[in-house]
Amino acid sequence: MTPQWPGVDPEWSRTIAVGSTSGADPHGTVRRWHLLDNGDQLARRGLAPAGTLLCVHGNPTWSYLWRTLLAAGSDPAHPWRVVAVDQLDMGYSERTGTFRRLADRITDLGDLTDALELAGPVVTVGHDWGGAVSLGWALAHPELLAGVVLTNTAVHQPSGAGVPPALRLALHPAVHRWGTTTSDAFLRVTHALARPALPAEVRRTYLAPYRGAGRRAGVGNFVADIPLDASHPSFAALNGVAEGVRDLQVPALMLWGPKDPIFSDRYLKDLVGRLPHADVHRFEGAGHLLAEDRDIAAPIFRWLAERDVARGGERPASDAPPAAPHREGAPEQEPGGFRPLWAALGEHAAGPAGDDLAVAEMSPEGAVSRSLSWKQLDRSIAELAAGLREAGVHGGSRVSLMVPPGADLTVALYACLRLGAVVVVADAGLGTRGLSRAVKGAAPDVLIGIDRALAAATALGWPGRRISVRDLPAGRRRVLGVETSLAALARRGAALGADPEWPAPDPAAPAAVLFTSGSTGPAKGVVYTHRQLAAMRDTVARTFGIHSGARLVAGFAPFALLGPALGAVSVTPAMDVTAPRTLTARALADAAAAIDATVVFASPAALRNVLATRDGVDAAGRQALERVDMLLSAGAPVPEPLLAQVQQLLPRASLHTPYGMTEALPVTDISLEGIRAADADAAAGTVAGAGNGVCVGLPVHGARVAVVPLAADGTAPGSDPVTAAGVTGEILVSAPHVKDAYDRLWLTQLESSSLPGWHRTGDVGHFDAAGRLWVEGRLAHVVTAPEAVVTPVGAEQAMERLDGVRLAAVAGVGPAGTQAVVAVVETAPPARRAGPAAPQLAGRVRAAARTAGVPVSAVLAVPALPVDIRHNAKIDRTRLSRWAARVLAGGRPGTP
């Protein structure tokens, strides 16, 4: 009977008799295999496949797992033969009655491919324990192998890591046979790991070949064959695969579901260490059954094409991407001209200013609580670097820094960079879940933290050896799993006679993984090389004129670490830098007075609280603020009225609001005077393109900016960057300080760099005739109404000028192309409850939106709009759209 399985073309299903050559069966024993194979279908259609995907399932699935790959491989646009096997004793293949171990299964698969007369190029695809089987076949067939794809699998139990609880339970003698064979509990538990839940018909299809205990013996045997230690019969075979993988030079792709309770990120880290050249993509929120949770076919086939796997993984010269566009005025980046990030620090320490103040911290009482001169800072860095090196931290080691900005963080950061270690920085503003997701995803080798961070690491199972900032009592060290402290490592480094001469870093080597704010989706790790960090320093210095001798108050975390790199004296005010709203006017004034500050860095949220608390500043504090020459405020748009009030507090300062992102900081810059001039041009209509967004000014030194025009469906599909006035599109940036890549997000990186030489920011905007950039919102937040593409910021600004409206957001509700434009306003005073706005307010909001050319279908009022924790300014419009859709459908409003 022709099988009827959801998503499977019946033509793919076939059986084949295969003779055994060795392994679990006597030589010549014939076994019946079932497989899904689109080879005959491709031949019937006259399509020549580029190669073969050999797909191997794990336990307790079967070839059905790979149905989307079979469908994609049958597409005439990119034909590939896909052979998805049912391993013996599994799926619809023969029940042999023989216990088959890992080595047997590798041999079995080789017998099958011989019987199929499989020819290269072959790309293996494996999941779960099918990953080890597929890699074993790959190592045994190098003449056919063109690449490997792995999804949530393992080949080695990382040292010091316990066996996952679910596997321990399945292996327990009291549970094993009942859970895996007598009952179908193991199958049902595995299927329940899908995120979202499997449709009923798909779940039934997975269960179908395992109806009855007699058909589940292979499931139980597969579990029993997991080698937990060297005494297990399959340990040697698995270890052979694990070590052999290190020599594979073919293209490799790893697709991962980090919510997997079995094959967690620690197994991914192990595999990355064995295949360091692999492309890796983690699908946040996905779990063990990745092929069910996410579309893996599209990225796999895109990878096959991008890496040209069928032709040996080398792109022909004619297909090589063009060189990055010339960057007018870009800083010199040749190796001979490269200056490491810390170059100015060392020069100051060795020069006449060596005993001058370099870094200071402020106490809540307004006094300097700790300070280091340039010599002391340089020596502290050298001593800690030596101590870290002896403790096993080396070039390429990932070190997560969970230390508040100040002297300790400055010393730790620069010590790691001098060693060639990769610093991982994700701040507490991500919230517990976001921070935990970031740390686990980055998989640091070492975690350096304050007590609170170390306690969180213990409670939440964060990876990495633990190092405390200060010496801790023995009992506390044991509880937190702390090996040593920065203080102890520095003492050890000093005893070793730290050598101040460290080899220059490779400019192209990774130096840092910096996490985004998480305000537009899960926080992403952004990889910077040493060259790119140095270019960021140079761009900031040359754009804003900040050079050696400057004295800055660092109230914004990203810039708290740039002071020493710029050769500037820096002070951290008394505040929680991860919560900008904790900066008070008095704390700012005390910090400015302590170093006679010339520059202040502060986020918009920090500035709002500074203004709200300005009455607490005494005469000396006001005088210190009046001596500041420049204020930089970044992280979110800064309204002109807010800057006008800040100007009164800092009357001599030039106020600047750079536009940028974690991937490229900064991109453009504009001053308060520039904002006022742009607003005046927009109001008068004298400059084409002025208006409808936030004016963020002109590109910073060394940067080029352009847009890719939006299409009618709200996407930016073009490949020709433009700078013409009035053309709205996705904003692109090209600069020496643009990020190197997204960390373990291969697909995201591919999409962000799809135009060679440019980074696609995901923001939308346009230029005016004066060359100024106006930001209109995020590409993901564009509303596709009938006959119009609506960007949100211009209309939101118009609404926020209304009395009684504190914040406004535009959201789209309904199918793409026919979306209704919904305005959601946060009122002042706050509305008592969320829901439809009062008729009078709704009328005023609609009229204001019309001035920006936006037709609003409905107006909702809320006590507070959902904003991100870090900046307290970026509105979660995706969440707002879902909420608005529920309200307009008659659901209970609740809280957005």
In tens, the pLDDT along 748-781 reads: 999 999 999 999 999 999 999 999 999 999 999 9
Domain, as residue range, for 844 = 782-888
Q: Choose one of 742, 757, 780: the last residue of a domain.
A: 780
Question: For residue 207, what pLDDT is reported?
Answer: 97
| Structure tokens belonging to residue 357 | 């103040």
Region 371-388: what's the mean pLDDT?
Answer: 96
Our count of domains for the chain comes to 5
- What span, in angstroms and rounded, lies between the C-alpha atoms of 266 and 256? 11
Tell me what percent of the residues of the chain surpass a pLDDT of 90. 78
Q: Is residue 191 situated within a structural domain?
A: no
CATH number at residue 851: 3.30.300.30
101 and 238 co-located in one domain: yes
Contact (Cβ atoms closer than 8 angstroms) between residue 370 and residue 356: no
pLDDT score, position 2 = 65
| Banded model confidence at residue 892, pLDDT cuts 50, 70, 90 | confident
Return the higher-pLDDT residue of 623 and 503: 623
Domain membership flag for residue 531: no
Residue ending a domain, among 505, 537, 563, is 505
Residues 794, 878, single domain; the answer is: yes
Most confidently modeled range among 300-304, 553-557, 890-894: 300-304
Same domain, yes or no, for 552 and 469? no
Instruction: Classify residue 573: in a domain, yes or no.
Output: yes
Q: Are residues 775 and 792 in the same domain?
A: no
Question: Same domain, yes or no, for 732 and 853?
Answer: no
My answer on whether 607 and 642 are in the same domain is yes
Task: Please check whether residue 430 lies inside any domain of the structure.
Answer: yes
Burial of residue 326 (number of CB atoms within 10 Å: 0-12, 13-18, 19+) = exposed
Note whether 155 and 285 are same-domain residues.
yes
pLDDT tops 70 at residue 328: no
Residues contacting residue 755 through CB under 8 Å, at least 6 positions apart: 708, 719, 721, 732
> In which band, very low, low, confident or very high, does the pLDDT at 427 lie, cut at 50, 70 and 90?
confident
- Give Cβ neighbours of residue 546 (< 8 Å, ≥ 6 apart): 540, 552, 566, 568, 599, 630
Q: What angle do CA 374, 380, 385 make, to 5 degrees?
A: 130
Based on the fold, state whether residues 634 and 678 are members of the same structural domain: no
Residue 13, class by beta-carbon neighbours within 10 Å (0-12 exposed, 13-18 middle, 19+ buried)?
middle
pLDDT in tens, 56-68: 999 999 999 999 9
Look at residue 718 and give its three-state secondary structure.
coil
pLDDT tops 60 at residue 318: no
Q: Which of 328-332, 459-463, 466-470, 580-584 has the lowest mean pLDDT?
A: 328-332
Enumerate residues 6+ apart whose C-beta is below 8 A from 71: 7, 9, 297
pLDDT band at 1 (very low <50, low <70, confident <90, very high): low
Those residues whose C-beta lies under 8 Å from the C-beta of residue 819, and which sit 6 or more positions away, are 783, 784, 785, 812, 813
What's the pLDDT at 428? 75
Q: C-alpha dihedral over 349, 350, 353, 355, to 10 degrees?
A: 60
Is residue 890's pLDDT more than 90? Answer: no
Q: In this structure, is residue 207 part of a structural domain?
A: no
Residues 267 and 398 both lie in one domain:
no
Listed in sequence order, the DSSP H helices in 658-756 are 672-684, 746-752
pLDDT at position 600 is: 96
The predicted pLDDT at position 497 comes to 82
> DSSP for 453-522?
HHHHHHHHT--SEEEESS---HHHHHHHTEEEEHHHHHHHHHHTT--S--PPPPTTSEEEEEE--STTSS
User: What's the average model confidence in pLDDT over 154-165?
Assistant: 78
What number is the average pLDDT over the span 501-528? Answer: 88
CATH no. for residue 581? 3.40.50.980
Does residue 149 sit within a domain?
yes
Matching residue, tokens 């100015």: 344
Nearest to residue 410, comparing CAs of 557, 267, 253, 596?
A: 557
DSSP for 111-159 reads HHHHHTT--S-EEEEEETHHHHHHHHHHHH-TTTEEEEEEES--SS--T
pLDDT in tens, 608-653: 999 999 999 999 999 999 999 999 998 777 889 999 999 999 999 9
8 A C-beta contact, residue 296 and residue 281:
no
If asked whether residues 773 and 793 sit together in one domain, one would say no
What is the pLDDT of the chain when averaged over all its residues? 91
- Looking at residue 519, its pLDDT comes to 66
- For residues 875 and 433, the model is more confident at 433
557 band by pLDDT with thresholds 50, 70 and 90: low
Angle formed by the axes of helices 102-115 and 129-140, nearest 10°: 60
pTM across the whole model: 0.92
The SS3 of residue 702 is coil
Sheet holding 654-656, edge to edge: 368-373, 357-362, 569-572, 551-555, 599-602, 630-632, 654-656
With a cut of 50, say whether residue 334 has pLDDT above it.
Answer: no
Question: Is residue 323 exposed (0-12), middle (13-18) or buried (19+ Cβ within 10 Å)?
Answer: exposed
3-class DSSP state of 626: helix
pLDDT score, position 786: 87
Look-up of token digits 């995120």: 195
Same domain for 751 and 853: no
Name the E strands within 577-703: 599-602, 630-632, 654-656, 659-661, 664-669, 694-699
CA distance 383 to 289: 47
Residues 776 and 788 in one domain: no
Looking at the domain assignment, is residue 514 inside a domain? no
Instruction: Count CB-CB contacts under 10 A for residue 178.
Output: 13
